[in-house]
Amino acid sequence: MKRMRVRGGLAVLAMAAALFSVPAQAGKTLEGIRARGQMVCGVHTGLAGFSAPDAGGRWMGLDVDICRAIAAAVLGDAAKVKYVPLTAQQRFTALQSGEVDVLSRNTTFTLSHEVSMGLLLTAVTYYDGQGFIVHARSGLRNARQLKGHKVCVQSGTTSERNLHDYSKANGLGVEPVLFEKEEAATAAYFAGRCSAYTSDASGLASIRSRQAAKPAEHMILPELISKEPLGPLVRRGDDEWYAIVKWVIHGLIEAEEFGITQARVDQIKGSNQDPAVQRILGGAGDTGTMLGLDKEWMARALKATGHYGEIFERNVGPKSALGLPRGLNRPWTQGGLMYAYPVR
């Protein structure tokens, strides 16, 4: 009798394992992408280090590389991406309407962005916080000194709401000067119409690097007044596509933990027999089938862009034009917040 129970229990476990390993069916978003042979990615209109066209018109940046990695995973070619530049006001409507397949545009993960807009947050690609940029000659050295000052800010953004909350909580009486477009807000700041401009600290570094006539004349105040976890969003209602975008990002992060670099993908696949490494590179198991993809999905993504650390360093790191430190975006093993879900 006991033996029969054991056999019955094993049969149940086998059935459960079979159910959980059923190949995923392609969702409607992936079907549309494959049918047109191109993924459509919503990006910023021009934010150096994150998404901006270079002199030759080629889109570059951290957010752009995330789209390239996804395209490589699902289409086999990182170049098969159409980039649609979107303002802050346009971005959510473009995603909701299906104009873009994924929004990779320095967008903060918040409750309202997910719950009230019919969107899903995938995975954080940059941990940021809102700050202020001021003229060095202004004498302003911390955010509390902005009491009663005019601050330029883009309307309809989390930056506008955060500025209001920070001013109210600290009794600063800051006077926000609102602009629909970021370019207008930054132009007003550089023209001296405001004492400061506020946005994500990474964005401030980008603006200073790209738009200031003399970057050294502008300083970013040390305080961060908010948490700004940034990452791609997708439409709600297509779980298969949501899973693909999320797991490509986690794969990029986990690949850094194992030292799987862009230049050594094939070499590591042939020499490193660690089961975790082999699962990422398609040499063991078949994680691709569970996503409706093939075994090489993550290997292609890594060959296209490198792991997360390589993407960061190339676009925004200390040796880039922005010169940003890894900070919170270091791997968890180095005291940062980048902690990948296991690709298994």
pLDDT of residue 2: 43
Report d(CA 163, CA 169) in Å as an integer: 10
| Closest of 163, 157, 155, 158 to residue 196, by C-alpha | 163
Separation of CA 290 from chain center: 23
* Per-residue pLDDT band at 25 (split at 50, 70, 90): low
Q: Beta-strand (E) ranges in the chain?
A: 39-44, 52-53, 59-60, 81-86, 102-103, 119-121, 126-128, 130-135, 150-154, 175-179, 196-200, 218-220, 228-230, 233-235
How do residues 158-179 score in pLDDT, each as one tens digit? Answer: 999 999 999 999 999 999 999 9
User: Is residue 52 predicted with pLDDT exceeding 70?
Assistant: yes
Q: What sign for the dihedral angle of Cα 229, 246, 96, 82?
A: positive
User: Is residue 26 predicted with pLDDT exceeding 90?
Assistant: no
Q: How many Cα atoms within 13 Å fall on the side-chain side of residue 121?
A: 17
Once rounded to an integer, what is the mean pLDDT over residues 67-88?
97
Q: What is the chain's mean pLDDT, rounded? A: 92
Once rounded to an integer, what is the mean pLDDT over residues 230-238?
97
What is the 8-class DSSP label of residue 224?
-
Degrees to nearest 5, angle at CA 44 with 40 and 47: 140
How do residues 270-285 score in pLDDT, each as one tens digit? Answer: 999 999 999 999 998 8
The CATH code belonging to domain 28-127+230-329 is 3.40.190.10
Report d(CA 244, CA 122) in Å as an integer: 9
* Per-residue pLDDT band at 27 (split at 50, 70, 90): confident
pLDDT of residue 24: 57
pLDDT of residue 143: 97
User: Is residue 246 predicted with pLDDT exceeding 80?
Assistant: yes
Question: In this structure, are residues 244 and 74 in contact, taking their beta carbons and an 8 Å threshold?
Answer: yes
Length of the chain: 344
pLDDT of residue 36: 97
Report d(CA 144, CA 141) in Å as an integer: 9
How do residues 132-146 score in pLDDT, each as one tens digit? Answer: 999 999 999 999 999
* Per-residue pLDDT band at 260 (split at 50, 70, 90): very high
Q: Which two tokens stand for residue 151?
A: 């601050």
pLDDT of residue 284: 86
User: Is residue 227 predicted with pLDDT exceeding 90?
Assistant: yes
pLDDT of residue 150: 98
Report d(CA 245, CA 262) in Å as an integer: 19
pLDDT of residue 182: 92
* Per-residue pLDDT band at 29 (split at 50, 70, 90): very high
Once rounded to an integer, what is the mean pLDDT over residues 298-304?
98
* Phi then psi dihedrals of residue 118, to 5 deg: 70, 35
User: Is residue 23 predicted with pLDDT exceeding 50?
Assistant: yes
Amino acid code (one letter) for 264 = R
- Between these two residues, 18 and 159, which has the higher pLDDT value? 159
28-127+230-329 and 130-226 in the same fold: yes
Q: Where are the domains of the chain?
A: 28-127+230-329, 130-226
Once rounded to an integer, what is the mean pLDDT over residues 40-56?
96
Q: Which two tokens stand for residue 94?
A: 């473009």
Report d(CA 222, CA 37) in Å as an integer: 45
- For 83, the 3-state DSSP assignment is strand
Pick the CATH number of 130-226 from 3.40.30.10, 3.40.190.10, 3.40.50.720, 3.30.1540.10: 3.40.190.10
Report d(CA 81, CA 338) in Å as an integer: 26
Once rounded to an integer, what is the mean pLDDT over residues 305-334?
96
Question: In this structure, are residues 120 and 233 in contact, taking their beta carbons and an 8 Å threshold?
Answer: yes
How do residues 178-222 score in pLDDT, each as one tens digit? Answer: 999 999 999 999 999 999 999 999 999 999 998 999 999 999 999
SS3 content of the chain, % helix, strand, coil (to 5): 45, 15, 35
Q: Which residues pair with residue 81 across a beta bridge?
A: 39
